Amino acid sequence: MLVQLCNTLLMVVVALSITGVINRTRALLAGRKGIRFAQHIYNVRLLMRKGAVYSSTTSILFRIAPCIYLGATLMAFLFIPVADLWPLFSFHGDIVLVAYLLALSRMALILAALDTGSSFEGMGASREALYGALVEPALMMGLATLALFCGYSSFADIFADAQQLDMNLTVIMLLVAYVFVVILFIEAGRVPVDDPKTHLELTMIHEVMCLDYSGIDMAMIQIAGWLKNAIFAMIAANAIAVAFCFHWWFATPLAIIATGVAVGVVESLRARNKLSRNVTYILTIVALSALVLLIGFLLTQNIEI
Local confidence band at 286 (pLDDT 50, 70, 90 cut-offs): very high
pLDDT at 304 over 70: no
pLDDT tens track for 140-160: 999 999 988 877 889 988 887
> Residue 84 domain-assigned?
yes
Give the rounded percent of residues in the chain with a pLDDT score beyond 70: 95
pLDDT at 299 over 60: yes
Residue 199 has what pLDDT?
Answer: 66
Residue 197 has what pLDDT?
Answer: 76
Residue 100 has what pLDDT?
Answer: 95
- Say if residues 111 and 202 touch (Cβ distance below 8 Å): no
- Say if residues 264 and 22 touch (Cβ distance below 8 Å): yes
pLDDT at 305 over 60: no
> Residue 59 domain-assigned?
yes
- Say if residues 97 and 196 touch (Cβ distance below 8 Å): no
> Residue 202 domain-assigned?
yes
Residue 55 has what pLDDT?
Answer: 87
Report the range of poorest mean pLDDT among 61-70, 167-176, 200-209: 200-209
pLDDT tens track for 182-225: 999 999 989 899 887 776 666 678 888 988 999 999 999 999 99
Its domain, for residue 262, covers 2-300
pLDDT tens track for 240-277: 988 787 788 899 999 999 999 999 999 999 888 888 89
Residue 74 has what pLDDT?
Answer: 97
Residue 165 has what pLDDT?
Answer: 64
Residue 162 has what pLDDT?
Answer: 60
> Residue 305 domain-assigned?
no
Local confidence band at 171 (pLDDT 50, 70, 90 cut-offs): confident
Residues 283-300 have a mean pLDDT of 92
CA atoms within 13 A on the CB side of 275: 12
Residues 110-132 have a mean pLDDT of 92
Local confidence band at 161 (pLDDT 50, 70, 90 cut-offs): low
Q: Tell me how many domains the chain contains.
A: 1
Report the range of poorest mean pLDDT among 6-10, 14-18, 43-47, 197-201: 197-201
Q: Which residue in 208, 212, 220, 214 sits closest to 66, CA to CA? A: 220
Q: Which helix (H) or strand (E) holds 289?
A: helix 275-300
Ordered DSSP codes for 68-114: HHHHHHHHHHTT---TTSPPSS--TTHHHHHHHHHHHHHHHHHHHHH
Work out the angle at residue 185's Cα, subtended by the Cα atoms of residues 13 and 250, and round it to the nearest 5 degrees. Answer: 40
Quick check: helix, strand or coil at residue 65? helix
Residues 58-76 have a mean pLDDT of 96
Residues 43-50 have a mean pLDDT of 95
